Every structure is written in C-alpha cells, then in structure tokens.
A and B are shown apart, each in its own frame.
Chain A
Amino acid sequence: MTAQPQLILEDVSMVFHGDGHAFTALAPIELEVPAGRFVSLIGPSGCGKSTIFNIAAGLQLPTTGKVIIGGEDATGIIGHVGYMLQKDLLLPWRTVLDNVALGMEIRGIPKSEARERALPLLHRYGLGGFEHRYPSALSGGMRQRAALLRTLLIDVDVILLDEPFGALDAQTKAHMQEWLLQLFHDFGRTVIFVTHDVEEAIFLSDDIYVMASRPGRIIEKMPIDLPRPRDRSVVSAPRFVAMKKYCLDLLYTVAIQSPEAAAA
C-alpha cells in the first residue's frame, strides 16, 4: 500500500489514576492505518483494545499522544469516525429504515431524502422487506446489519467496529463476516476491527495487531497476505491454518508469562 495513512495514533497511552494507584491501561503505542485497509486488534480482555477504540473515536482523551485522522489532529474530537459496538443500539421507536437513515438525518439531510438514499441499500444488503419493521422484530444478525449500515451511511472514512459480532451464534457470525467483507469491498472505507476471535481476525483483515495485557500494548503486527476476495474455504487453507497457529501461540505464550518477563 502506498496510500498515506488515514488514521495515525502517535505515542498514545492511557493511565488511569484510582485510589492512589496508577493503572496503565495502555502503554504508549504507535499505529498507522493506510486508507482503505482492514485492520484488526486482537488480544485478551484488558489489553486496551477498547481503550484504543474509545481514544480513536474521540470519546476518551489519551494521557499522552495524538490521534490524527485524514491528516488532521482529532484527539478528543467526536464525529470523525463512525463506530459500532456489540450492542446494536438501534432506537426501538424507529423503523429499520429510519434507524439506518439516522446518521444522515443528524448530518442535516432531510428525512425523506435520507430514507430515499437508505432504502436501496437495505434491499441490496439483505434487509429488504424489513425496512418498515421495528428492531424488536429482527434477529440479532439483522439488527447488526442495520447498525452497520447506519454507520456506513455517514460520510466518514474511518469505521471502528468493537466486537460487532461477539454476541452472535457461530453460523450467523460466519454469514455476517462474509457480508462485512462484501461491504468493505463496496464502500472502500478504512476499518479498525476489535475482536478476540483469531479466526475472525485473519479471515477479515489486511493487518492484525496482536496485543497483550498488563500493561495493554501491541506485541506484534501480522500482515495477512491472503488474496481478496476471500471466501469461507480459505479457513482450511494451509497458509490460514499456519497463521492462526502462529497468532494463537503469540497470544498464549504472552498470557502465561509474568508481566515482568513479558516486558523484558
């Protein structure tokens, strides 16, 4: 990739002060994500994945360092990235169509036009026929689709996804991953994907940042050179299996080491 980095985290760290103790949630990290790249953050709980996520989204001020999005300093500034959580956060009193159109509506597009623009996408991306239903009538997978479309329909280049499929069953999750790859291909956004599922990370990503906890830090950047478009059969390819083993080994060895040994 020759593209200029879309998202840069420069020397970003996060230290919490609670009852006299300083807790390093995130040791200083450097992260550069080129435009149009799919990057995953993977690691055990407490490794600072969600902290990175919140800092990049502008929801949390880092203790040190800067967030640069599209060449601009976006430290602590909201509205530069779209994000989505494991919870779909659809508004229960709005129809699926109105939920998907919410982002555009907030950004000043008249309601009718926002609906007009959202409708064909609902049909193209598997929510056709559900546009006038309410979220409560949808399955978990469908709700996540709606939530992701809402995020993609706002005019931002960086999308942050925090374990969006974490609450779904295995089969739905597999479907959703393929669906996400389709969208990634169609929309060409830069994606930061937080997960703790190694297979999911390899299947989706261009790069994986493997993280460790205590303190939260990045221990390795793994480029995933599997050709795109990928389909499900790739998970049994020897290359995929080898990478998965390597990644699991990384996570496992760090997990059983004491913090001092890991830091050394």
Chain B
Amino acid sequence: MDAKALSLPSRTLDNTRPSEVSRGATKQRKIARKLPVQKVWSTPTLIAIQVAILVGFLVLWEICADLKIIDPFFWSQPSAIWETLVIFLTQGDAFTDIAFTFRSTIFGFIIGTTGGALLGMSFWWSRNYAQTMQPYIVCLESIPKLALAPLIVLVFGMGLASKVAIATALTIIVATLTAYGGVQAVDKDQERLLYSLGASRWQVFTKLVVPSCIPWIISILRVNIGLALTGSIVGEFVSSQHGLGRTILYAGSTYEISLVWVAILILSALSMVMYVSVAWLEKVLRKGVVH
C-alpha cells in the first residue's frame, strides 16, 4: 500500500481489499529508476573552484570600484586594502592591538567557561539550591549582555579588565546552563551504584558527576571562544585605547574604510586561529575523556 491508495475515501476502503484499491481507476505507474548518485569532485578541483570564486569576487570588486559602479569612498577596494594592510602591519602598532584583543578574549574565555562550568556543576549538590537559582539564571540568560557593556566599562575602567568582564559575562551563562544540563543527565542508576559501593557525596561528585559533565563542557568551548571575542570587541567599541575593535571604530569615524577592512580581516584571521586551536583542544580532550 502506498500514499495514493491510502488517500482514497474511507468508504472505498471499507469494502474493498487493499489489492483491489491499488488497482482502482487511476493506474499507478510502475517505477524503475536508478538511485541518484552525485559525481564527487576531487579535492584539487574543489580547491581550484573555491579559489577561483574568491579571486573572481576580488577582481569584480576592484573593477566595480575603479569604474565607480560602487563608491570606493565607502566600499574601498582590494588594492587599497592591501596597501593599508602592509602599512598597518609594518608601521602601525598592529601587534599591540592584536595582542590586546587576543588577551582579553582568552582571559574572558577561560574565566567564563571555568566559572560557568563550576557554577553549573555546583547545582548537583542540592536540588533546593538549583531550584532557587533557576529564575536568576534564566533572567541572566535573557538579558542582552552586550547592553550592559557601557555599565561594565564604567565599573571596570577603560583597560583590559572591562573587556575581560564583558567577554566573561557573555560566556559564563552558556557554560553554566550547559554544565547544568550535564548534571541533569547524570545516570541515576550509576549514582545509586556508587552509593551502594559506599561512596560519599564528594566521591560521587568527583568520580561520577564531574567526569560525566566534561563532554558537555568540551562541547561549549567552540561556542564560547566566539562569544568571548565578540565581548572583547564590543568592550573596545564602547571605550578603549587599544585593540582591533578600537581600530575599527577609530578608522570608521575618520572614514579610513580600508583600515576598517584591514582590522576586520585581521580579526577574522585571529578568530579563525583561535577557533582552530579550540577545535584541536576539543579533539585532544575528547580523546582523553570520551571513549
């Protein structure tokens, strides 16, 4: 029986055998077609196509800007961006800015992730405590943390601390909720088994709860590194003396559009490097923990 036969009115179905139904007025087509199979490109072909698209895009951008189809004052153009990049890296204080953003991101990432993981796992200790805290956690989760950025900068000052604080604020809640999810997923039978072996609460926590939460915590590393970077940049937007975020804001306000692009380019590269490192860290940790 298939969909066509089943969609007949039920009256017909009541007094007809299924085989007769499928031999009804409209005849079903006999179907004999091959399973669709995609021809897969080889890796070099794939890479060549990807590079071609990028080059094509850059060339198109350059030409359009040259021919004034798009306004080079607002959009800049690849050649100008390249020149600015060389100047920024060789003459400007590029590395101070990169290091500043990098540092605040990493600190925020570490503090937020560790703090959140500990907070989330602490909810295992008492259901009353967890239930009491729940509305507050939900509130904190729903506050757009970035809206707090100006306040945080006021409290923590213009330096590194405020950027770390914003990055922490963004990452800590995610980490808390995820770790709490891990706590709730701890196998109750396993918990009882450990108690039956005579374990104390602390032993159950260290030997069962923490190890079973670790895969959950690992799974948020990649999300959190991105969030931490966002936090740092926003902190620098609000008020800062260094950092790639400040460079973008500064260049934008002085209409140095090429510099904006340069900073975005470097920021993306930085983000990619951090993402790849964290992905690698995740792989290593998973190998050590999950089997």
Given known contacts A81-B196, A106-B194, A134 and B187 CB-to-CB distance under 8 angstroms: no
Q: Dominant SS at the B interface?
A: helix
Interface residue ranges of A69-113 to B (CB < 8 Å):
78-79, 81-83, 85, 87, 89, 91-93, 102-103, 106-107
- B187 contacts A106, CB within 8 Å? no
Nearest CB on B from A29, distance (A): 22
Q: For A93, A134, A135, A154, which residue has the most chain B Cβ atoms within 10 angstroms?
A: A93
Nearest CB on B from A139, distance (A): 15
Q: Does A242 touch B at the CB level, under 8 Å? A: no
- A106 contacts B290, CB within 8 Å? no
Nearest CB on A from B182, distance (A): 13
Q: Does A172 touch B at the CB level, under 8 Å? A: no
- A83 contacts B291, CB within 8 Å? no
Nearest CB on B from A256, distance (A): 34
Given known contacts A91-B211, A136-B291, A107 and B198 CB-to-CB distance under 8 angstroms: yes
| Residues 176-218 of chain B, each 1 if its beta carbon lies under 8 Å from chain A, else 0 | 0000000000010110111111110001000110010010000
- A102 contacts B197, CB within 8 Å? yes
Given known contacts A59-B192, A87-B189, A154 and B197 CB-to-CB distance under 8 angstroms: yes
Of B193, B199, B291, the residue contacting A92 (CB under 8 A) is: B291
Nearest CB on A from B69, distance (A): 60
- A106 contacts B291, CB within 8 Å? no
Q: Does B289 touch A at the CB level, under 8 Å? A: yes
- A103 contacts B197, CB within 8 Å? yes
Nearest CB on A from B209, distance (A): 11
Q: Does A57 touch B at the CB level, under 8 Å? A: yes
- A residues less than 8 Å from B195 (CB atoms): 78-79
- A93 contacts B289, CB within 8 Å? yes
- B291 contacts A79, CB within 8 Å? no
Nearest CB on A from B135, distance (A): 29
Q: What is the bound-complex CA distance between A57 and B199, given in angstroms?
A: 14
Q: What is the bound-complex CA distance between A154 and B195, given in angstroms?
A: 13
Q: What is the bound-complex CA distance between A238 and B197, given in angstroms?
A: 41
Of B189, B198, B291, the residue contacting A134 (CB under 8 A) is: B291
- B192 contacts A106, CB within 8 Å? no
- B190 contacts A83, CB within 8 Å? no
Q: What is the bound-complex CA distance between A154 and B196, given in angstroms?
A: 10
- The residue of chain B having its C-beta at the shortest distance from the C-beta of A108 within the complex is B198
- A89 contacts B197, CB within 8 Å? no
- B203 contacts A89, CB within 8 Å? no
- The residue of chain A having its C-beta at the shortest distance from the C-beta of B211 within the complex is A93
- A89 contacts B211, CB within 8 Å? no
- The residue of chain A having its C-beta at the shortest distance from the C-beta of B200 within the complex is A106
Nearest CB on B from A32, distance (A): 22
Pairs across A and B, CB under 8 Å, 7 listed? A59-B192, A78-B198, A83-B193, A85-B193, A89-B189, A102-B207, A106-B203
Q: Report B's interface with A, CB cutoff 8 A.
A: 187, 189-190, 192-199, 203, 207-208, 211, 214, 289-291
Name 16 extra pairs, CB < 8 A, besides A78-B198, A106-B197, A106-B199: A78-B196, A79-B195, A79-B196, A89-B193, A91-B190, A91-B207, A91-B208, A92-B290, A93-B211, A93-B289, A93-B290, A93-B291, A102-B207, A103-B198, A136-B291, A154-B198
